[in-house]
A and B are shown apart, each in its own frame.
Chain A
Amino acid sequence: MTLRAVSRRLSRQLISAAIHVSPCEREEWAQAMSREADEIPDDREALRWALGCLQASCHERLRSMRLTSWWPVRWGMALWIALLAVDALAYAGFTLNYKLGLFTAHYPYPPNVPLLEVTPLWEPMLVGAAGVVLLLAVVLILRRSRVAFGAVVSPLAIALLLFAVRFSRPESGILQTLSTAYQKSPFAMIWPIVGLAITILICLALWQDRRTPAPR
Protein backbone atom coordinates (compact mmCIF):
# COMPACT_ATOMS: atom_id res chain seq x y z
CA MET A 1 0.00 0.00 0.00
CA THR A 2 1.45 3.38 -1.01
CA LEU A 3 1.87 6.30 1.35
CA ARG A 4 -0.76 8.20 -0.63
CA ALA A 5 -3.31 5.42 -0.16
CA VAL A 6 -2.54 5.15 3.56
CA SER A 7 -2.91 8.90 3.97
CA ARG A 8 -6.26 8.96 2.15
CA ARG A 9 -7.54 5.99 4.10
CA LEU A 10 -6.54 7.59 7.38
CA SER A 11 -8.26 10.82 6.32
CA ARG A 12 -11.48 8.93 5.58
CA GLN A 13 -11.31 7.16 8.94
CA LEU A 14 -10.76 10.43 10.75
CA ILE A 15 -13.67 11.99 8.87
CA SER A 16 -15.98 9.11 9.74
CA ALA A 17 -14.85 9.40 13.40
CA ALA A 18 -15.62 13.14 13.24
CA ILE A 19 -19.13 12.41 11.94
CA HIS A 20 -19.60 9.82 14.66
CA VAL A 21 -18.40 12.16 17.45
CA SER A 22 -20.42 15.13 16.23
CA PRO A 23 -23.70 15.72 18.13
CA CYS A 24 -26.96 15.00 16.26
CA GLU A 25 -27.84 18.68 15.84
CA ARG A 26 -24.48 19.25 14.10
CA GLU A 27 -24.74 16.37 11.65
CA GLU A 28 -25.18 18.70 8.68
CA TRP A 29 -21.98 20.54 9.62
CA ALA A 30 -20.07 17.30 10.03
CA GLN A 31 -21.22 16.27 6.56
CA ALA A 32 -20.19 19.67 5.24
CA MET A 33 -16.66 19.21 6.60
CA SER A 34 -16.38 15.70 5.19
CA ARG A 35 -17.47 16.80 1.71
CA GLU A 36 -14.73 19.42 1.67
CA ALA A 37 -12.13 16.76 2.45
CA ASP A 38 -13.07 14.97 -0.80
CA GLU A 39 -12.26 18.12 -2.76
CA ILE A 40 -8.74 18.57 -1.41
CA PRO A 41 -6.21 17.35 -3.99
CA ASP A 42 -3.18 17.18 -1.71
CA ASP A 43 -3.10 14.11 0.55
CA ARG A 44 -1.26 15.72 3.44
CA GLU A 45 -3.58 18.68 3.37
CA ALA A 46 -6.57 16.35 3.30
CA LEU A 47 -5.18 14.58 6.35
CA ARG A 48 -4.70 17.88 8.18
CA TRP A 49 -8.23 18.87 7.18
CA ALA A 50 -9.60 15.57 8.52
CA LEU A 51 -7.77 16.09 11.84
CA GLY A 52 -9.29 19.56 12.06
CA CYS A 53 -12.74 18.07 11.39
CA LEU A 54 -12.28 15.67 14.29
CA GLN A 55 -11.16 18.57 16.49
CA ALA A 56 -14.21 20.65 15.47
CA SER A 57 -16.56 17.72 16.10
CA CYS A 58 -15.04 17.11 19.56
CA HIS A 59 -15.40 20.82 20.28
CA GLU A 60 -19.08 20.74 19.32
CA ARG A 61 -19.67 17.54 21.28
CA LEU A 62 -18.14 19.05 24.43
CA ARG A 63 -20.12 22.23 23.91
CA SER A 64 -23.39 20.33 23.59
CA MET A 65 -22.72 18.42 26.81
CA ARG A 66 -24.18 20.10 29.84
CA LEU A 67 -22.97 19.27 33.33
CA THR A 68 -26.45 19.79 34.74
CA SER A 69 -27.87 17.17 32.39
CA TRP A 70 -25.81 14.56 34.25
CA TRP A 71 -28.14 13.07 36.85
CA PRO A 72 -25.76 13.06 39.88
CA VAL A 73 -25.18 16.81 39.40
CA ARG A 74 -28.90 17.50 39.03
CA TRP A 75 -29.75 15.42 42.09
CA GLY A 76 -26.91 17.08 44.04
CA MET A 77 -28.30 20.49 43.17
CA ALA A 78 -31.79 19.42 44.20
CA LEU A 79 -30.44 18.00 47.49
CA TRP A 80 -28.64 21.22 48.33
CA ILE A 81 -31.74 23.30 47.62
CA ALA A 82 -33.81 20.84 49.68
CA LEU A 83 -31.41 21.39 52.61
CA LEU A 84 -31.86 25.16 52.27
CA ALA A 85 -35.64 24.65 52.19
CA VAL A 86 -35.55 22.51 55.35
CA ASP A 87 -33.35 25.11 57.05
CA ALA A 88 -35.74 27.94 56.11
CA LEU A 89 -38.83 25.97 57.14
CA ALA A 90 -37.25 24.90 60.46
CA TYR A 91 -36.33 28.50 61.27
CA ALA A 92 -39.81 29.70 60.30
CA GLY A 93 -41.46 26.89 62.32
CA PHE A 94 -39.47 27.50 65.52
CA THR A 95 -39.79 31.26 65.37
CA LEU A 96 -43.49 31.25 64.55
CA ASN A 97 -44.16 28.77 67.33
CA TYR A 98 -42.36 31.02 69.78
CA LYS A 99 -44.12 34.10 68.48
CA LEU A 100 -47.51 32.40 68.74
CA GLY A 101 -46.76 31.46 72.33
CA LEU A 102 -46.44 27.70 71.90
CA PHE A 103 -42.86 27.58 73.26
CA THR A 104 -43.15 30.10 76.10
CA ALA A 105 -42.69 27.54 78.86
CA HIS A 106 -40.29 25.03 77.28
CA TYR A 107 -38.49 26.78 74.47
CA PRO A 108 -35.53 24.48 73.68
CA TYR A 109 -32.94 27.22 72.96
CA PRO A 110 -33.10 29.84 75.78
CA PRO A 111 -30.08 31.86 74.49
CA ASN A 112 -32.14 32.70 71.40
CA VAL A 113 -35.04 34.20 73.36
CA PRO A 114 -33.77 37.83 73.33
CA LEU A 115 -33.27 37.54 69.57
CA LEU A 116 -36.73 36.08 69.06
CA GLU A 117 -38.28 38.87 71.10
CA VAL A 118 -37.05 41.51 68.68
CA THR A 119 -37.84 39.49 65.56
CA PRO A 120 -40.98 40.82 63.84
CA LEU A 121 -43.74 38.31 63.06
CA TRP A 122 -43.54 38.94 59.31
CA GLU A 123 -39.95 37.71 59.17
CA PRO A 124 -40.55 33.99 59.90
CA MET A 125 -43.64 34.12 57.72
CA LEU A 126 -41.56 35.43 54.83
CA VAL A 127 -38.83 32.85 55.45
CA GLY A 128 -41.49 30.12 55.59
CA ALA A 129 -42.86 31.24 52.22
CA ALA A 130 -39.29 31.22 50.85
CA GLY A 131 -38.87 27.67 52.18
CA VAL A 132 -42.01 26.52 50.39
CA VAL A 133 -40.80 28.10 47.13
CA LEU A 134 -37.44 26.33 47.59
CA LEU A 135 -39.25 23.00 48.01
CA LEU A 136 -41.06 23.75 44.78
CA ALA A 137 -37.66 24.55 43.20
CA VAL A 138 -36.43 21.05 44.12
CA VAL A 139 -39.22 19.52 42.04
CA LEU A 140 -38.59 21.98 39.21
CA ILE A 141 -34.85 21.20 39.16
CA LEU A 142 -35.53 17.48 38.94
CA ARG A 143 -38.06 18.06 36.17
CA ARG A 144 -35.52 20.26 34.32
CA SER A 145 -37.93 23.15 34.22
CA ARG A 146 -36.73 26.56 33.03
CA VAL A 147 -38.70 28.15 35.91
CA ALA A 148 -36.33 26.48 38.42
CA PHE A 149 -33.95 29.44 38.19
CA GLY A 150 -36.62 31.89 39.37
CA ALA A 151 -37.79 29.48 42.08
CA VAL A 152 -34.26 29.38 43.54
CA VAL A 153 -33.26 32.99 43.03
CA SER A 154 -36.37 34.66 44.49
CA PRO A 155 -36.15 32.97 47.95
CA LEU A 156 -32.39 33.55 47.91
CA ALA A 157 -32.98 37.25 47.21
CA ILE A 158 -35.46 37.35 50.12
CA ALA A 159 -32.91 35.66 52.41
CA LEU A 160 -30.18 38.12 51.43
CA LEU A 161 -32.57 41.05 51.92
CA LEU A 162 -33.53 39.79 55.38
CA PHE A 163 -29.85 39.36 56.23
CA ALA A 164 -29.19 42.95 55.13
CA VAL A 165 -32.14 44.21 57.23
CA ARG A 166 -30.92 42.27 60.27
CA PHE A 167 -27.37 43.44 59.75
CA SER A 168 -28.51 47.06 59.67
CA ARG A 169 -30.33 46.69 63.01
CA PRO A 170 -28.00 46.18 66.02
CA GLU A 171 -30.89 44.92 68.16
CA SER A 172 -31.33 41.96 65.83
CA GLY A 173 -28.24 40.39 67.42
CA ILE A 174 -26.77 39.23 64.10
CA LEU A 175 -23.50 41.09 64.69
CA GLN A 176 -23.11 39.50 68.13
CA THR A 177 -23.86 36.06 66.68
CA LEU A 178 -21.25 36.51 63.94
CA SER A 179 -18.74 37.93 66.40
CA THR A 180 -19.20 35.00 68.80
CA ALA A 181 -18.84 32.51 65.98
CA TYR A 182 -15.68 34.27 64.77
CA GLN A 183 -14.19 34.33 68.27
CA LYS A 184 -14.77 30.60 68.65
CA SER A 185 -13.01 29.87 65.38
CA PRO A 186 -12.23 32.16 62.44
CA PHE A 187 -12.67 29.12 60.20
CA ALA A 188 -16.31 28.88 61.25
CA MET A 189 -16.98 31.76 58.86
CA ILE A 190 -15.78 29.68 55.93
CA TRP A 191 -18.86 27.44 55.94
CA PRO A 192 -21.50 30.14 55.36
CA ILE A 193 -19.29 31.56 52.60
CA VAL A 194 -18.85 28.12 51.01
CA GLY A 195 -22.61 27.56 51.29
CA LEU A 196 -23.33 30.85 49.59
CA ALA A 197 -20.79 30.06 46.86
CA ILE A 198 -22.42 26.66 46.19
CA THR A 199 -25.85 28.29 45.99
CA ILE A 200 -24.56 30.97 43.61
CA LEU A 201 -22.98 28.27 41.41
CA ILE A 202 -26.31 26.42 41.31
CA CYS A 203 -28.04 29.67 40.34
CA LEU A 204 -25.52 30.20 37.52
CA ALA A 205 -26.02 26.64 36.26
CA LEU A 206 -29.80 27.10 36.30
CA TRP A 207 -29.43 30.44 34.53
CA GLN A 208 -27.40 28.74 31.81
CA ASP A 209 -30.07 26.03 31.51
CA ARG A 210 -32.74 28.69 31.29
CA ARG A 211 -31.01 30.38 28.38
CA THR A 212 -30.20 27.20 26.48
CA PRO A 213 -31.98 24.13 27.83
CA ALA A 214 -29.82 21.02 27.89
CA PRO A 215 -30.73 18.27 25.42
CA ARG A 216 -32.81 15.58 27.10
Chain B
Amino acid sequence: MTFARKWSRQTVALLSALMERPRTWQHGYELSKETGLKSGTLYPILIRLSEQGLLNSRWKDAERPGRPPRHVYRLTATGLALAREQVEVSIESESGFKPIKAGAR
Protein backbone atom coordinates (compact mmCIF):
# COMPACT_ATOMS: atom_id res chain seq x y z
CA MET B 1 0.00 0.00 0.00
CA THR B 2 1.47 3.35 -1.01
CA PHE B 3 0.73 6.58 0.84
CA ALA B 4 1.30 9.61 -1.34
CA ARG B 5 0.38 12.01 1.45
CA LYS B 6 3.06 14.35 2.75
CA TRP B 7 3.11 14.48 6.53
CA SER B 8 4.18 17.37 8.71
CA ARG B 9 7.51 17.26 10.51
CA GLN B 10 5.68 16.93 13.83
CA THR B 11 3.70 13.92 12.59
CA VAL B 12 6.84 12.25 11.28
CA ALA B 13 8.53 12.88 14.65
CA LEU B 14 5.60 11.25 16.44
CA LEU B 15 5.49 8.31 14.02
CA SER B 16 9.20 7.88 14.53
CA ALA B 17 8.80 7.82 18.32
CA LEU B 18 5.97 5.32 18.13
CA MET B 19 7.92 3.22 15.65
CA GLU B 20 10.89 2.86 17.98
CA ARG B 21 8.86 0.66 20.33
CA PRO B 22 6.03 -0.65 18.17
CA ARG B 23 4.78 -3.25 20.65
CA THR B 24 4.80 -0.96 23.69
CA TRP B 25 1.78 1.07 24.71
CA GLN B 26 2.99 4.63 25.34
CA HIS B 27 1.45 7.50 27.32
CA GLY B 28 0.80 10.93 25.86
CA TYR B 29 3.18 12.65 28.28
CA GLU B 30 5.89 10.14 27.52
CA LEU B 31 5.45 10.76 23.78
CA SER B 32 5.49 14.49 24.38
CA LYS B 33 8.82 14.26 26.19
CA GLU B 34 10.26 11.97 23.55
CA THR B 35 9.24 14.10 20.58
CA GLY B 36 9.38 17.54 22.18
CA LEU B 37 5.82 18.21 20.99
CA LYS B 38 3.55 20.26 23.23
CA SER B 39 0.23 18.73 24.24
CA GLY B 40 -1.58 21.24 22.01
CA THR B 41 0.23 19.84 18.98
CA LEU B 42 0.55 16.23 20.06
CA TYR B 43 -3.11 15.40 20.72
CA PRO B 44 -4.59 16.72 17.46
CA ILE B 45 -2.02 14.55 15.63
CA LEU B 46 -2.85 11.51 17.80
CA ILE B 47 -6.54 12.06 17.09
CA ARG B 48 -5.97 12.29 13.30
CA LEU B 49 -3.78 9.16 13.31
CA SER B 50 -6.40 7.30 15.32
CA GLU B 51 -9.19 8.41 12.95
CA GLN B 52 -7.18 7.17 10.00
CA GLY B 53 -6.77 3.76 11.61
CA LEU B 54 -3.02 4.17 12.02
CA LEU B 55 -3.04 4.28 15.81
CA ASN B 56 -4.59 2.10 18.49
CA SER B 57 -5.58 3.66 21.79
CA ARG B 58 -6.93 2.22 25.01
CA TRP B 59 -7.25 2.98 28.72
CA LYS B 60 -4.63 1.33 30.89
CA ASP B 61 -4.80 1.01 34.66
CA ALA B 62 -2.32 3.25 36.45
CA GLU B 63 0.80 1.66 37.89
CA ARG B 64 0.27 3.41 41.22
CA PRO B 65 -2.82 2.29 43.13
CA GLY B 66 -5.61 4.82 43.55
CA ARG B 67 -4.73 6.69 40.38
CA PRO B 68 -7.17 6.87 37.45
CA PRO B 69 -6.44 4.89 34.25
CA ARG B 70 -4.40 6.58 31.53
CA HIS B 71 -4.78 6.62 27.76
CA VAL B 72 -2.05 4.72 25.94
CA TYR B 73 -1.13 4.47 22.27
CA ARG B 74 0.67 2.27 19.79
CA LEU B 75 0.75 1.99 16.01
CA THR B 76 -1.46 -0.43 14.10
CA ALA B 77 0.15 -2.70 11.48
CA THR B 78 -0.83 -0.18 8.77
CA GLY B 79 0.46 2.67 10.89
CA LEU B 80 3.77 0.90 11.42
CA ALA B 81 4.20 0.30 7.68
CA LEU B 82 3.39 3.94 6.98
CA ALA B 83 5.70 5.16 9.74
CA ARG B 84 8.62 3.17 8.30
CA GLU B 85 7.90 4.52 4.84
CA GLN B 86 7.52 8.12 5.99
CA VAL B 87 10.57 8.17 8.24
CA GLU B 88 12.70 6.72 5.42
CA VAL B 89 11.36 9.33 3.00
CA SER B 90 12.07 12.11 5.52
CA ILE B 91 15.64 10.92 6.06
CA GLU B 92 16.25 10.70 2.33
CA SER B 93 14.68 14.07 1.55
CA GLU B 94 16.84 17.12 1.01
CA SER B 95 15.72 18.93 4.16
CA GLY B 96 16.57 15.90 6.22
CA PHE B 97 14.69 14.62 9.22
CA LYS B 98 15.60 15.99 12.62
CA PRO B 99 13.46 14.65 15.43
CA ILE B 100 12.07 17.41 17.61
CA LYS B 101 13.55 16.84 21.03
CA ALA B 102 12.52 18.22 24.36
CA GLY B 103 14.25 21.47 25.12
CA ALA B 104 14.38 22.44 21.48
CA ARG B 105 10.95 24.07 21.68
A26 close to chain B: CB less than 8 A: yes
Taking a contact as CB atoms closer than 8 A, the residue among A32, A48, A59 that contacts B28 in the complex is A32
1/0 per residue, CB under 8 A from B, across A35-65: the answer is 1101110000000110111111001100000
**Chain B interface size, under 10 / 10 to 19 / 20 to 34 / 35 or more:** 10 to 19
The number of chain A residues with a CB under 8 A from chain B is 21
Residues in B neighbouring A56, C-beta threshold 8 A: 39-44
Interface stretch (choices B5-13, B15-23, B64-72): B64-72
Taking a contact as CB atoms closer than 8 A, the residue among A28, A36, A39, A60 that contacts B39 in the complex is A36
Residues in A neighbouring B42, C-beta threshold 8 A: 52, 56
Decide if B68 touches A35 in the complex (CB within 8 Å).
yes
Decide if B47 touches A26 in the complex (CB within 8 Å).
yes
Decide if A36 touches B38 in the complex (CB within 8 Å).
no
Residues in B neighbouring A49, C-beta threshold 8 A: 29, 32, 38-39
Q: How far is the CA of A37 from the CA of B67 in the complex (A)?
A: 12
Main secondary structure of the interface of B (DSSP, over half): helix
**Given the contacts A26-B47, A29-B47, A36 and B40 also touching, CB distance less than 8 Å:** no
Most buried by A among B29, B43, B67, B70: B43
Residues in B neighbouring A28, C-beta threshold 8 A: 71
**Given the contacts A35-B70, A38-B68, A48-B38, A53 and B29 also touching, CB distance less than 8 Å:** no
Decide if B71 touches A53 in the complex (CB within 8 Å).
no
Residues in B neighbouring A32, C-beta threshold 8 A: 28, 43, 57, 70-71
State the Cβ distance, B98 to closest chain A Cβ, in Å: 22
State the Cβ distance, B103 to closest chain A Cβ, in Å: 12
Taking a contact as CB atoms closer than 8 A, the residue among B43, B47, B70 that contacts A39 in the complex is B70
Decide if A52 touches B47 in the complex (CB within 8 Å).
no
Decide if A59 touches B68 in the complex (CB within 8 Å).
no
State the Cβ distance, A122 to closest chain B Cβ, in Å: 43
Taking a contact as CB atoms closer than 8 A, the residue among B39, B67, B68, B69 that contacts A33 in the complex is B39
B84 close to chain A: CB less than 8 A: no
Decide if A51 touches B67 in the complex (CB within 8 Å).
no
Decide if B47 touches A60 in the complex (CB within 8 Å).
yes
From 39 to 61 in chain B, residues with beta carbon under 8 angstroms from any chain A beta carbon are 39-44, 46-47, 57
Decide if B41 touches A33 in the complex (CB within 8 Å).
no
Closest to A40 in B: B29
Q: How far is the CA of A28 from the CA of B72 in the complex (A)?
A: 12
State the Cβ distance, A194 to closest chain B Cβ, in Å: 34
Known: A32-B43, A55-B39, A59-B40. 13 other contacts (CB 8 A): A29-B43, A29-B46, A36-B39, A36-B70, A39-B67, A49-B29, A53-B39, A53-B40, A53-B43, A55-B38, A56-B40, A56-B41, A60-B44
11 contacts between A and B (CB under 8 A): A28-B71, A29-B71, A31-B71, A32-B71, A38-B68, A49-B29, A49-B32, A49-B39, A53-B40, A55-B39, A60-B47
Which 6 A/B pairs are nearest by Cβ-Cβ distance? A52-B39, A55-B40, A32-B71, A52-B40, A56-B43, A36-B29
